[in-house]
Structure 1
Amino acid sequence: MSSGIRVAGGIAKHVKKKGAQQAAYQGIQFLKSYGQHILKNPMIVNAIVEKGGVKSTDVVLEIGPGTGNLTMRLLETAKKVIAIEFDPRMVVELERRVSGTPHGHNLKIISGDFLKVDLPYFDVCIANCPYQISSPLVFKLLSHRPMFRSATLMFQREFAMRLCVNPGDPLYCRLSVNAQLLARTTHILKVGKNNFRPPPKVDSSVVRIEPRSPMIDVNFREWDGLVRLCFGRKNKTLGGIFRAKTVLQLIENNYKTYKALQVNNGKGVSAMDMGSGGVGNVSSKMLGAATMGARKKGKFSQKGKKQYGLGADEKMDIDDGDEDGNGITSVDAVTPEFIRGLVEKVLNTDGFVDMRASKMSQDDFLRLLATFNEAGIHFA
């Protein structure tokens, strides 16, 4: 019995040692906390560079270069590569790897957190992205100016598909709508987990993102406020969402708050004034959707927050603007019946009442936002 235990223990130690060796590269231990899965298949690397359309005159931004497998291929093709790497150990390895090569002088390494560094000018972005920051990474790129030509990025497969799917697909969500408002998204290729060292638990996919030019003329703060509310219950009809007591109370509270600000300030205070004035100036924080308003307005009840997918710090600012033509100048004149009437006016336009966010196109959301604005309701 004791002999059997010793043998089992020896096997366990051998397996553990072998696993540690497989998860390392030339003495560098890959860290799961950093999402480090190094792409090892050269055919996939070549395909990403080719699909990325990298030109010999391009400045390429690479996010999370790791040990440099993709970086080395990019240096052979592009004029310059700017690599942003968070792990100091990988920075040292990358510097060692390019040292003495013909293209070493064409590489610039920025050591730091991608979400915190100021991005330099670049023509295209090519990256095997750290999966844990996928969403803020995408929207930070899309908020960068001057606008880049395209980004070819590898993500966890489910996230990648959410970026590209059409209305009606089970994966269609707020991320899909927001990303596709700002860019054309195309699925390029699927990458199996065994193409990485160490293998992740999920498959991956490569997506090409091409920023829209010109950008759609819409205030992104208003857009995101509306879309967030609609996708709180994406399979519920808009009539069911906007007739809910919690939503109507929220609209009423915020409507009154803005009216009070107008009276006290002696001038109109609109969501459009508070917003970016267009998607071209939105920040990555705004796009990342941590909150929906800087001011503390009317709130959902705890039940309402849970039902509509809003956290404790997520609020919706709504304003009647100066263009509604309703002649409402007194806060006391804003009643639940008045608010309900405005909402019903919107719902009864173009069949919105029976629409569901899960099946609504970009044009549907744009028309819905415009109709709310015409009725004097703004989201910020």
Structure 2
Amino acid sequence: MPKVRTQVTSRIHKEVARQGILFQKDKGQHILKNPLVIQSMVEKAALKPSDIVLEIGPGTGNMTVKMLEKAKKVIACEIDPRMVAELQKRVQGTAYQSKLQIVVGDVLKSELPFFDLCVANIPYQISSPLIFKLLSHRPFFRCAVLMLQREFAERLVAKPGDKLYCRLSVNTQLLARVDMLMKVGKNNFRPPPKVESSVVRIEPRNPPPLINYQEWDSLTRIAFIRKNKTLSAAFKQTTVVTMLEKNYKIHCSLNNKIVPDNFDIKALINHILKKAEAEKKRARTMDIDDFISLLHEFNAEGMHFT
């Protein structure tokens, strides 16, 4: 195997340098060049010889090659045909060629294949939709080790009361355990991005919580519109009141329940918030259990968010 490594390593960036390929920043093309960081990410993913690994945005293949050394197969998703060509050239004629599958296109618009792990230096502008696409994927994968913009990563792991705690924090942590693994400076990339980076490990909760995620998502959106305001204030917004009243009347219609002429949706909302002891709570200090309890209280009264 050392001979194969030497053969592949000798090709690093030769074609890229010869052709003078310009990385496209609008596609988040910041190639991770530090071999120590790459090695650390691969080690923290704890790849097994039987694993199928999903990599998003492989670029010129620096991390791809390291994973091909350890895994059964790597499925690399790449949107840029130039990078696809470089990746193909890099493994061509080596023992790794048969272990690499390249999927060309936008990963957000494609159905994900089966995979055991996801290890990637992903384009930062797709971080949020990609993470939730991964977490909604079935069957469950073991874990994801992802390079992310540092502030985004800090939001993922933030706890109630933290400055960066937000809807992203609570929505992600409902579905997964998230751990910060390491910080990575901008000079570890070519070209250097404008922001610092961090690597996180995301492990899906299996089985997932028994909760309607669409309702959960809508509830947290309302609560975090003004995360420093009380829930009582958040639920007084006209758009929120109108939406809940419409959904409540649909619920009553479907369950043959008559809505009284003097029905007051605002009074019902206030009743639920008081019953849940939540009217004075603020989203920035509420944990997952607080939001689950609140959602159950609304649902118990026939109030739904979708």
TM-score normalised by length of structure 1: 0.73
- What are the within-5 Å matches in structure 2 for residues 56-67 of structure 1? 56-67=49-60
Matching residue of 1:109: 102
Instruction: Quote the offset at 1:345 in angstroms.
Output: 1.5
| Alpha-carbon distance in structure 2 between the residues aligned to 1:36 and 1:227 | 32
Classify the secondary structure of the residue corresponding to 1:229: helix
Instruction: Quote the offset at 1:253 in angstroms.
Output: 4.1
Matching residue of 1:196: 189
| Alpha-carbon distance in structure 2 between the residues aligned to 1:223 and 1:197 | 39
Instruction: Quote the offset at 1:254 in angstroms.
Output: 4.1
Q: Considering only aligned residues, what root-mean-square deviation do their CA atoms show, in Å?
A: 1.6
Tell me whether 1:208 sits opposite 2:134 in the alignment: no
Q: Verify the 8 A CA contact 1:328 1:334 in the aligned structure 2.
A: no
Tell me whether 1:354 sits opposite 2:280 in the alignment: yes
Matching residue of 2:305: 379
1:191–1:145 CA distance, 2 compared to 1 (3 A): same
The one-letter amino acid paired with 2:261 is A
Matching residue of 2:124: 131
Classify the secondary structure of the residue corresponding to 1:115: helix
| Structure 1 spans left out of the alignment, 5+ residues | 1-23, 263-267, 269-321
Aligned length: 290
Classify the secondary structure of the residue corresponding to 1:235: coil
Q: Point out the more displaced range, 347-356 or 192-201.
A: 347-356
Tell me whether 1:329 sits opposite 2:270 in the alignment: no
| Structure 2 spans left out of the alignment, 5+ residues | 1-15
| Alpha-carbon distance in structure 1 between the residues aligned to 2:172 and 2:238 | 30
| Alpha-carbon distance in structure 1 between the residues aligned to 2:87 and 2:34 | 18
Instruction: Quote the offset at 1:258 in angstroms.
Output: 5.2
1:245–1:35 CA distance, 2 compared to 1 (3 A): closer
| Alpha-carbon distance in structure 1 between the residues aligned to 2:298 and 2:276 | 12
Q: Verify the 8 A CA contact 1:252 1:334 in the aligned structure 2.
A: no
| Alpha-carbon distance in structure 2 between the residues aligned to 1:252 and 1:108 | 50
Classify the secondary structure of the residue corresponding to 1:89: helix
Instruction: Quote the offset at 1:165 in angstroms.
Output: 0.9
Instruction: Quote the offset at 1:250 in angstroms.
Output: 3.9
Q: Specify which of 240, 244, 251 is matched with residue 251 of structure 1.
A: 244
| Alpha-carbon distance in structure 1 between the residues aligned to 2:40 and 2:268 | 53
Q: Specify which of 112, 117, 132 is matched with residue 119 of structure 1.
A: 112
Matching residue of 1:141: 134
Matching residue of 1:240: 233
Instruction: Quote the offset at 1:374 in angstroms.
Output: 1.2
Q: Point out the more displaced range, 162-171 or 80-89.
A: 162-171
Tell me whether 1:153 sits opposite 2:146 in the alignment: yes
| Alpha-carbon distance in structure 2 between the residues aligned to 1:87 and 1:155 | 20
Q: Verify the 8 A CA contact 2:247 2:305 in the aligned structure 1.
A: no
Matching residue of 2:13: none
Q: Specify which of 213, 217, 221 is matched with residue 214 of structure 2.
A: 221
Instruction: Quote the offset at 1:334 in angstroms.
Output: 5.5
CA displacement, residues 102-121 of structure 1 (integer Å, 9 cap, x when unaligned): 22211011111111122111
Q: Verify the 8 A CA contact 1:173 1:231 in the aligned structure 2.
A: yes
| Alpha-carbon distance in structure 2 between the residues aligned to 1:241 and 1:250 | 13
- What are the within-5 Å matches in structure 2 for residues 222-371 of structure 1? 222-256=215-249, 259=252, 262=253, 268=254, 322=255, 328-330=257-259, 333=261, 335=263, 338-371=264-297
| Alpha-carbon distance in structure 2 between the residues aligned to 1:117 and 1:246 | 34
CA displacement, residues 306-359 of structure 1 (integer Å, 9 cap, x when unaligned): xxxxxxxxxxxxxxxx4xxxx9514x6263xx2122112111124201111011
Classify the secondary structure of the residue corresponding to 2:87: helix
TM-score normalised by length of structure 2: 0.90
Identity %: 57
Instruction: Quote the offset at 1:257 in angstroms.
Output: 5.3
Instruction: Quote the offset at 1:252 in angstroms.
Output: 2.8
CA displacement, residues 119-160 of structure 1 (integer Å, 9 cap, x when unaligned): 111100000001111111101111111110000001111111
